[in-house]
């Protein structure tokens, strides 16, 4: 049975991936920093609901600690590493670029080196649709990347260059997964689906950048996870592409996204329109043909309406809105 090690296993995508791999009968373990204080409740919730229930062992470990990571991979005899530990988020990368450099550049260098030392046979790591920069059309893996519109995007582009160097110089192959706006239950509070849903539920206004015109290729978490699991399960002797899009080619305008969210919540949004900030992209759209070929069939696709309904169901359980008292005005 294959042994898979997931970094960032208490994170949004990491917790779902670890749970799904365990459900598929693989031996799964992982690590996470477990110290981002603003996220602790959510990380704990994910560990309880998704991870511990699946019998996955998650160690508190900083992916930047190469020796400790190498030891963890050797102890667990990891065949495959799914590296999802990083600092995500475009806007915050301008406020804390050095923290991002440490987590995303040092962290990734450390993961590459630990995989080399421990003889890991397959490394899948999180890249991002942001490596494509500002453009239109379908984003294909063979397209030129950049220029980056944020420091976060630059760290992901650098990760792809670092991975290419490890392949050319040291023979370590890896695949960068360019995720396209992943959303769903246990999602990230800094991302629009969670942020907007909470604001609408609580009667607060939402800020819609680019006057709601930007389009995003939203990917439901279960669909992204299904793709990752199928990639992990490809025969180890079969080389995978250096980079792969994880998205659907179905961009949705933000105004339409808010309309579907209002429908799922049964409440109207108070919308404040704003200009598009320079670090935000106006459009994302994955060309999914390469992924389709590698998986031997199409990627699972949950329609946005259905995915948002699942997000709202989860939010209702995770953070119930207090019921109105008879005499109150709420
Ligand atoms: P997340 O913040 O929910 O998860 C990341 C996890 O990594 C967190 O639990 C954090 O504690 C952990 N972590 C950070 N630095 C660490 C370190 N040095 N050592 C160990 N653990 C560390 O983010 P996510 O949305 O699950 O994203 C996972 C990956 O996918 C990230 O690399 C992100 O950049 C990438 N990505 C996500 C999206 C998306 O839409 N969610 C899109 C594109 C790319």
Dump pLDDT digits (tens) for 196-242: 999 999 999 999 999 999 999 999 999 999 999 999 999 999 999 99
Q: Are the beta carbons of 241 and 175 closer than 8 angstroms?
A: yes
Query: How many angstroms is it from 104 CA to the middle of ligand 1?
Result: 9
For the chain, what are the domain ranges?
A: 3-185+219-247+285-301
Please say if the pLDDT value at position 330 is more than 50. no
Higher-scoring residue by pLDDT: 38, 102:
102
- 72 CB under 6 A from ligand 1? no
- 32 CB under 6 A from ligand 1? yes
- Tell me which of 132, 152, 183, 283 is the catalytic residue: 152
Distance CA 180, CA 10 (A): 20
Q: Which atom of ligand 1 is nearest to the CA of 34?
A: 11
Closest among 46, 32, 35, 320 to 188, alpha carbons compared: 46
Tell me, what's the pLDDT at 38? 59
Q: Whose Cα sits closest to atom 15 in ligand 1?
A: 86
Closest among 216, 192, 203 to 265, alpha carbons compared: 203
Q: Tens digits of per-residue pLDDT, 7-45?
A: 999 999 999 999 999 999 999 999 999 875 557 899 999
Tell me, what's the pLDDT at 170? 97
Distances, alpha carbon 250 to alpha carbons 205, 216, 302, in Å: 27, 8, 11
Please say if the pLDDT value at position 303 is more than 80. yes
Q: Tens digits of per-residue pLDDT, 121-151?
A: 999 999 999 999 999 999 999 999 999 999 9
Q: What percentage of the chain carries pLDDT values higher than 70?
A: 97
The arithmetic mean of pLDDT across residues 61-71, rounded, is 98
Q: Is the pTM of this model over 0.95?
A: yes
Tell me, what's the pLDDT at 157? 98
Distance CA 74, CA 117 (A): 9
Q: Whose Cα sits closest to atom 2 in ligand 1?
A: 11
Tell me, what's the pLDDT at 155? 98
Tell me, what's the pLDDT at 34? 85
pLDDT tier at 86, thresholds 50, 70, 90: very high
Distance CA 62, CA 85 (A): 9
Kindly tell me the number of DSSP H helices and DSSP E strands found in the chain.
Answer: 12, 13
pLDDT tier at 321, thresholds 50, 70, 90: confident
- 11 CB under 6 A from ligand 1? yes
Measured in whole angstroms, how far is the alpha carbon of residue 45 from the centre of its chain? 17
Query: How many angstroms is it from 187 CA to the middle of ligand 1?
Result: 11
DSSP H stretches of helix in 266-303: 289-295
Closest among 63, 98, 79 to 26, alpha carbons compared: 79
Q: Tens digits of per-residue pLDDT, 158-171?
A: 999 999 999 999 99
Please name the helix (run of DSSP H) or strand (run of DSSP E) that holds residue 175, with its range, or none: strand 175-179
Query: How many angstroms is it from 143 CA to the middle of ligand 1?
Result: 25
pLDDT tier at 156, thresholds 50, 70, 90: very high
Kind of pairing, strands 215-216 and 252-253?
Answer: antiparallel
Dihedral in degrees, nearest 10, Cα atoms 307, 310, 311, 317: 180
- 152 belongs to the catalytic site: yes
Please say if the pLDDT value at position 300 is more than 60. yes
Number of Cβ within 10 Å of residue 116's Cβ equals 15
Higher-scoring residue by pLDDT: 324, 258:
258
Domain 3-185+219-247+285-301 matching CATH 3.40.50.720: the answer reads yes
- 140 CB under 6 A from ligand 1? no
Q: Are the beta carbons of 121 and 43 closer than 8 angstroms?
A: no
Number of Cβ within 10 Å of residue 97's Cβ equals 15
């Amino acid at each position: 049975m294959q042994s898979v090690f997931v970094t960032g296993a208490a994170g949004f995508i990491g917790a779902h991936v670890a749970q799904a791999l365990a459900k598929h009968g693989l031996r799964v373990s992982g690590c996470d920093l477990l110290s981002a204080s603003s996220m602790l409740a959510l990380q704990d919730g994910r560990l309880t609901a998704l991870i511990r229930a699946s019998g996955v062992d998650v160690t508190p470990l900083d992916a930047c600690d190469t020796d400790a990571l190498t030891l963890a991979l050797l102890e667990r005899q990891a065949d495959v590493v799914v590296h999802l530990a990083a600092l995500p988020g475009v806007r915050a990368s301008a406020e804390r670029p050095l923290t991002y450099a440490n987590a995303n550049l040092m962290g990734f260098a450390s993961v590459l080196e630990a995989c080399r030392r421990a003889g890991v046979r397959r490394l899948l790591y999180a890249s991002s649709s942001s490596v494509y920069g500002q453009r239109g059309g379908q984003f294909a893996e063979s397209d030129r990347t950049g220029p980056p519109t944020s420091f976060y995007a630059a760290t992901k582009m650098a990760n792809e260059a670092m991975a290419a160097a490890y392949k050319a110089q040291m023979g370590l192959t890896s695949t960068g997964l360019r995720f396209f706006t992943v959303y769903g239950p246990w999602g990230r509070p800094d991302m629009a689906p969670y942020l907007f849903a909470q604001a609408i539920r609580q009667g607060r206004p939402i800020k819609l950048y680019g006057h709601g015109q930007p389009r995003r290729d939203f990917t439901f978490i279960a669909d992204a996870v299904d793709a990752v699991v199928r990639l992990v399960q490809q025969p180890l002797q079969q080389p995978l592409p250096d980079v792969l899009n994880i998205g659907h080619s179905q961009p949705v305008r933000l105004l339409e996204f808010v309309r579907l969210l209002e429908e799922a919540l049964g409440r109207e949004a108070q919308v404040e329109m704003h200009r598009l900030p320079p670090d935000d992209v106006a459009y994302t759209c994955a060309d999914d043909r390469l992924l389709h070929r590698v998986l031997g069939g199409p990627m699972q696709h949950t329609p946005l309406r259905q995915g948002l309904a699942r997000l709202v169901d989860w939010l209702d359980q995770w953070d119930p809105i207090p019921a109105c008292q008879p005499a109150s005005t709420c």
